[in-house]
Structure formats: C-alpha cells, structure tokens
C-alpha cells in the first residue's frame, strides 16, 4: 500500500461521509416535510370535523324547528276539528245515537282516573253516554283506540257503570273503506259534507 493509495482511501471515505451526511440531511428534510403534511392533514380533518359538527347542529336545530312547526300545525288542525264538531252538537244537535242528551262536554278526563285517557266529546243523559273521538284526518288504526274509550270510560267514571255507552268517530272526511269498517263495528260515522255535519248512526251497538 502506497502513501498515495492511503490518501485516496481517506478522500474516498470523506466523500462517502459527506454523501451520507447529505442523504441524512435530505431524509431529515423529507421527514420534516412529512411531519408538516401530517400536521396539515390533522388540521384539515379537525376543521372538517368542526364543520360537520356545526352542520349537524344546524340540521338538528332545523329538524327541531320543523317538528315543532308540524306538531303545532297538527295540533291546530286537531283543535279546529274538535271545536267544529263540538259546536255542531252544541247548537241544537244533541239528538244523537237515537236519543236526546242533556249534557255535552269536551276534553273530559276521569275525576280520579285510573287509566290515562281523554274523551274529546261526551254526550250524557240519564241512561246513555255518547263518546265521540275527533280526528282531523282519521286512519284505520284509530278504530281500536275508539273502542278502547268505552273500556277506559267505565273505569275512569264508575258513576256511569250502568249506562249504555255508544261510540262515534268524527273527522273532516272519511274514505269509504274506513267508513264501512266503523259501520261493521257499530261506531257512528260523523263527517263534514260541505257546510254540514252528517251523522250515520243507524247501525249503532252499545258497548
């Protein structure tokens, strides 16, 4: 080994060390760049998450407002229907279920009621009680609820245990299938036809 070869080996080693150092610096820069990208991605994900939360919060607020509006609208419709039919009975139309009724009441609950229930319109005399369930828009699922009114009324109003109980379903409009179902169950059909309230109670049965 000559002196020249030794110096050449040192120079080669120095070059290699410099190249290694350069590569390490480049790798360091790449790692820094990767770290910046990761931080930017995390920040972006966080911003998107905040936007989604804000969007969800706004959506929930809008849905709540919508539900409140729809609920209020539905309640107003129901109240209108109740008032309409109550006034129709009150204004000289108390001949119902083939009988004359002395008292008419609305939105009645039990005195010390056991079962949580309410009766939209009650027609009462010395021997009979007429219970009218009022719906702005009626559905076939409402029929079992109407029939249940007779059961809960006897429990909640024991003073009328010996009275005959008749049932009616009042709505602003019936569709034929539902009207026929009421007739087959012995429930009076009460509906608005033009400016008139029409009552079909010829098929009644006592509950």
Over 60: is that where the pLDDT of 71 sits? no
Residue 13 or residue 141, greater confidence: 141
Question: How many residues does the structure list for the chain?
Answer: 207
Write out pLDDT tens, residues 95-120: 666 677 888 888 888 666 678 888 99
CB–CB of 167/131 below 8 Å?
yes
Question: For residue 73, what pLDDT is reported?
Answer: 42
**Between helices 142-156 and 176-185, what is the axis angle to 10°?**
30
CATH of domain 94-200: 3.40.1350.10
Burial class (CB in 10 A: 0-12, 13-18, 19+), 170: buried
Question: For residue 31, what pLDDT is reported?
Answer: 76
Over 90: is that where the pLDDT of 150 sits? yes
Average pLDDT (85-94) is 68
Question: For residue 10, what pLDDT is reported?
Answer: 59
Question: For residue 78, what pLDDT is reported?
Answer: 54
End-to-end CA distance of the chain: 123
- Using 50, 70 and 90 to split pLDDT, how confident is the model at 192? confident
Cβ-based neighbour number of residue 154 at 10 Å: 17
Question: For residue 74, what pLDDT is reported?
Answer: 45
How far is the C-alpha of 115 from the C-alpha of 145, rounded, in Å? Answer: 13
Residue 132 or residue 71, greater confidence: 132
Question: For residue 119, what pLDDT is reported?
Answer: 93
């Amino acid at each position: 080994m000559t002196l020249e070869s030794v110096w050449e080996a040192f120079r080669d080693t120095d070059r290699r060390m410099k190249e290694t150092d350069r590569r390490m610096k480049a790798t360091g820069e790449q790692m820094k760049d990767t770290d910046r990208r990761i931080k930017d991605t995390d920040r972006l994900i966080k911003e998107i998450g905040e936007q989604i939360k804000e969007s969800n919060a706004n959506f929930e607020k809008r849905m709540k407002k919508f539900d409140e509006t729809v609920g209020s609208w539905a309640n107003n419709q129901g109240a209108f229907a109740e008032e309409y039919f109550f006034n129709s009975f009150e204004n000289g139309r108390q001949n119902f279920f083939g009988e004359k009724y002395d008292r008419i009441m609305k939105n009645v609950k039990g005195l010390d009621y056991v079962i949580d229930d309410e009766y939209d319109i009650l027609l009462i005399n010395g021997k009979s009680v007429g219970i009218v369930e009022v719906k702005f828009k009626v559905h076939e699922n409402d029929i079992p609820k109407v029939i249940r009114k007779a059961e809960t009324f006897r429990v909640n109003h024991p003073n009328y245990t010996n009275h005959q109980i008749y049932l009616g379903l009042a709505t602003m409009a019936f569709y034929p299938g539902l009207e026929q179902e009421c007739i087959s169950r012995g429930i009076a059909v009460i509906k608005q036809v033009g400016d008139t309230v029409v009552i079909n109670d010829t098929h009644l049965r006592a509950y």
